[in-house]
Structure 1
Amino acid sequence: MVTFITDGVKVSVETIYQPEYSNPANDHFMFAYKVSIENMSDYAVRLMSRHWYIFDSNGAKREVEGDGVVGLQPVIEPGSSHEYVSGCNLKTDMGSMKGEYHMMRLLDNAMFDVHIPEFYLIAPYRMN
């Protein structure tokens, strides 16, 4: 698990290789990732959008942007957290992701970015 804190918002990410949804013979490798976003600040925040940078070990790079996460723009109260699971497909059995969440502090509608630390997507057989 990787973790990073930006302006009182803690982001933690765990990854899981999905062999049942992967097809290595066709260069298709599926990974799930579970994200926990914990508001350690004194103010409620809303996750407005996300921006991902996705890297395959063959040098390919993609960017994905969109509103919220998995169809939601959650409000996270102080001391609370929001968790979700999503997925990413790669053309190789190793890669990584990183990015940022664009957040709004509800007290004054101030926008700020929360860093999503780089995490690795690696098929378990590559670890041996």
Structure 2
Amino acid sequence: MVTAITEGIKISVDTIYQDEHSNPENGHFMFAYRISIENLTDFEIQLMRRQWFIFDSNGTVREVEGEGVVGMQPMIMPGDSYSYVSGCNLKTDIGSMRGRYLMRRTLDDSEFLVEIPEFELVVPFRLN
């Protein structure tokens, strides 16, 4: 698990290789990741947008950007957390992701960026 705190927002990421949804012979490696967002501040926040940078070990870099996460723009109260699971496919058996969320403080509608720490996507047999 990797974790980072930006502006009082704690982001933790766990990953798992999805063997049953992968096809290595055809260069298709599927990974799932679980993100937990913990609000350590004294104010309510809303996750507005996300931006991802996806790195494949063949040198390919993809950028994914859009509203919310998994179709939601969750509100997170002080001391609460929000978790979701999503996925990413690679063309090689090693890669990584990093990104950021655009958050909004509901108190004054101010916006700020929260970094998503870089995490590795590695097929288990590559770790031996």
TM value normalised by structure 2: 1.00
Shift of 1:12: 0.2
The count of aligned residue pairs is: 128
Alpha-carbon RMSD: 0.3
Which residue of structure 2 lines up, in the alignment, with residue 28 of structure 1?
A: 28
Q: For residues 53-64 of structure 1, what are the structure 2 equivalents within 5 Å?
A: 53-64=53-64
Runs of at least 4 residues of structure 1 off by over 4 A?
A: none
Per the alignment, in what secondary structure is the counterpart of residue 71 of structure 2? coil
CA distance in 1, matches of 2:29, 2:66: 23
Per the alignment, in what secondary structure is the counterpart of residue 78 of structure 1? coil
Question: Which runs of no fewer than 5 residues in structure 2 stay unpaired?
Answer: none
Shift of 1:3: 0.3
Which residue of structure 2 lines up, in the alignment, with residue 3 of structure 1?
A: 3
Which residue of structure 2 lines up, in the alignment, with residue 118 of structure 1?
A: 118
Q: For residues 67-86 of structure 1, what are the structure 2 equivalents within 5 Å?
A: 67-86=67-86
Question: Which runs of no fewer than 5 residues in structure 1 stay unpaired?
Answer: none
Shift of 1:88: 0.0
Shift of 1:23: 0.2
> AA paired with 2:75?
V
> AA paired with 1:60?
T
What percentage of residue pairs aligned between the two structures are identical?
65
Shift of 1:35: 0.2
CA distance in 2, matches of 1:6, 1:104: 14
> AA paired with 1:28?
H
CA distance in 2, matches of 1:10, 1:121: 21
